[in-house]
Amino acid sequence: MALWIEGGTVLRDELGPSDLLLEAGRIAPETASPPAAALRLKARGLLVLPGIVDCHGDAFERHIMPRPGVAFDLDLALRDADRALLASGITTAYHGVTWSWEPGLRGAENARRLVERIAALAPSLGADTRFHLRHETFNLDAEEEIRSWLREGRVGALAFNDHTEGTLKARHRPDKIGKMVERTGLDRAAFDALVERVYARKGEVAGSIERLAQAAREAGVPMLSHDDMTPAMRRWYRERGVGIAEFPIDEATAREAAAAGEAIVFGAPNVVRGGSHTGCPAAEEMVREGLCTILASDYYYAALLQAPFALVERGAATLASAWALVSRNPAEALGLVDRGAIRPGLRADLVLVEPGPQPRIAATIVAGRLVHLADQRLLA
């Protein structure tokens, strides 16, 4: 069914009043007129913006396990997360699934179940939902299986993570290690022994990364390196075709990525809260310095809608440049050339936003389908 959006303020290169026709899942030419049978939305007073592309979100984990050790059916959790995504204006979602060497929520069994269920449910979900594999680089025994997933087209994005070093350091901090142990279902002694066994294979990690990066390149899967610690680490990953710097630890590392023209990801919650909760660079300052090209939901979906408006309110960006951080830029970095902007012929992924101190989503449209409507009075 065609969809006619009338009276809205549309963000193309800049904001301006315009009507918009969506047909066959695509954005129609600006001169197009609506067919008689088109569904009509009254958008007066609303912003019409490109749909949000979330390159990294793991808030769905709380839908699976809202409390430590309390798990729900995966299909139920993924459908519940889908509704949260749409209410936040996220039209393309990369579920960040961590496959670690630890058992439990981030273990092998859960990763295998998630890759299966995301693929099975994706056609029935409102958001275009994809599998972002967050590979813990010390998880060496998973290498061959991950390479097969890449060959089979089951992975939408591959990130290289290393939280093993941090886990070793955290063993003397009860506030941190307790949560890690609880997540695995192991007792403390068994967890400590597991960490020692895993870390003993440190010499094998670099070779494993190189083989996985080669497999991803051959499969055309975009790659991210997570928490790059130094400019040298960013260069090392760049040499292996990993072109997206996700949450670089300091400004110098972000500058290394920027100098090479690479995409640089920081968290939208960081912007909304006014800084990092882990002591990493403040995302707003990175935006001001041209050292952040993408914002991700990270652990809180709602932040992706709020962050661009916060940047505008604080004078850090125009709405066009701020909104690109959550739409056009992530789409380009992930190779999604069919979305991220409002142009004729592109996929009709759009959000209608009610502006204000806390902007809210009035409607979400995915591939031309109205999948979320907050107020039926918008129906003409």
Q: Are residues 234 and 192 in the same domain?
A: yes
Low-confidence winner among 121-130, 182-191, 265-274, 349-358 (lowest mean pLDDT)? 182-191
When divided into structural domains, the chain yields a total of 2
Q: Are residues 109 and 253 in the same domain?
A: yes
What percent of the chain stands above pLDDT 90?
A: 86
Instruction: Residue 52: name the closest of 336, 248, 345 by CA.
Output: 336
Q: Are residues 14 and 133 in the same domain?
A: no
Q: What is the CATH number of the domain that holds 109?
A: 3.20.20.140
At 229-265, the pLDDT tens digits run 999 999 999 999 999 999 999 999 999 999 999 999 9
At 133-186, the pLDDT tens digits run 999 999 999 999 999 999 999 999 999 999 888 787 777 777 677 777 877 888
Mean pLDDT within 354-376: 97
Mean pLDDT within 370-378: 96
Distances from the Cα of 213 to the Cαs of 122, 133, 235, 251, in angstroms?
A: 26, 13, 14, 25
Mean pLDDT within 114-125: 98
pLDDT score at 20: 98
Q: Residue 47 burial by CB count (10 A; 0-12/13-18/19+): exposed, middle or buried? A: buried
Choosing from 296, 313, 333, the residue where a domain stops is 333
Distances from the Cα of 217 to the Cαs of 94, 150, 151, 214, 235, in angstroms?
A: 19, 9, 10, 5, 17
Mean pLDDT within 4-13: 97
Mean pLDDT within 66-81: 93
Q: Are residues 111 and 35 in the same domain?
A: no
Q: Are residues 62 and 21 in the same domain?
A: no
Q: Are residues 179 and 33 in the same domain?
A: no
Mean pLDDT within 188-211: 94
pLDDT score at 164: 86
What is the separation, in whole angstroms, between the first and last Cα of the chain? 15
pLDDT score at 266: 98
Asked whether the whole model's pTM tops 0.75, one would answer: yes
Q: Are residues 155 and 226 in the same domain?
A: yes
**Pairing verdict, β 52-57 and 47-50:** unpaired
How many residues appear in the chain? 380
Q: Are residues 78 and 200 in the same domain?
A: yes
Q: Are residues 95 and 150 in the same domain?
A: yes
Mean pLDDT within 114-137: 98
Q: Are residues 56 and 45 in the same domain?
A: no
The answer to whether the beta carbons of residues 264 and 245 sit under 8 Å apart is yes
Q: Residue 186 burial by CB count (10 A; 0-12/13-18/19+): exposed, middle or buried? A: middle
- 244 beta partners: 224, 263
The answer to whether the beta carbons of residues 127 and 82 sit under 8 Å apart is yes
| Separation CA 336–CA 333 (nearest Å) | 8
263 CB neighbour count, 10 Å cutoff: 21
pLDDT score at 105: 80
Most confident range, picked from 104-113, 169-178, 321-330: 321-330
Task: Give the residue numbers spanning the domain of 242.
Answer: 51-333
Q: Are residues 138 and 61 in the same domain?
A: yes
pLDDT score at 175: 67
What percent of the chain stands above pLDDT 70?
A: 99
**Pairing verdict, β 15-23 and 3-11:** antiparallel
Mean pLDDT within 320-338: 99
Q: What is the CATH number of the domain that holds 356?
A: 2.30.40.10
DSSP 105: G
The residue among 276 and 357 whose pLDDT is bigger is 357
Mean pLDDT in the chain? 95
| Separation CA 30–CA 86 (nearest Å) | 26
Q: Are residues 19 and 128 in the same domain?
A: no
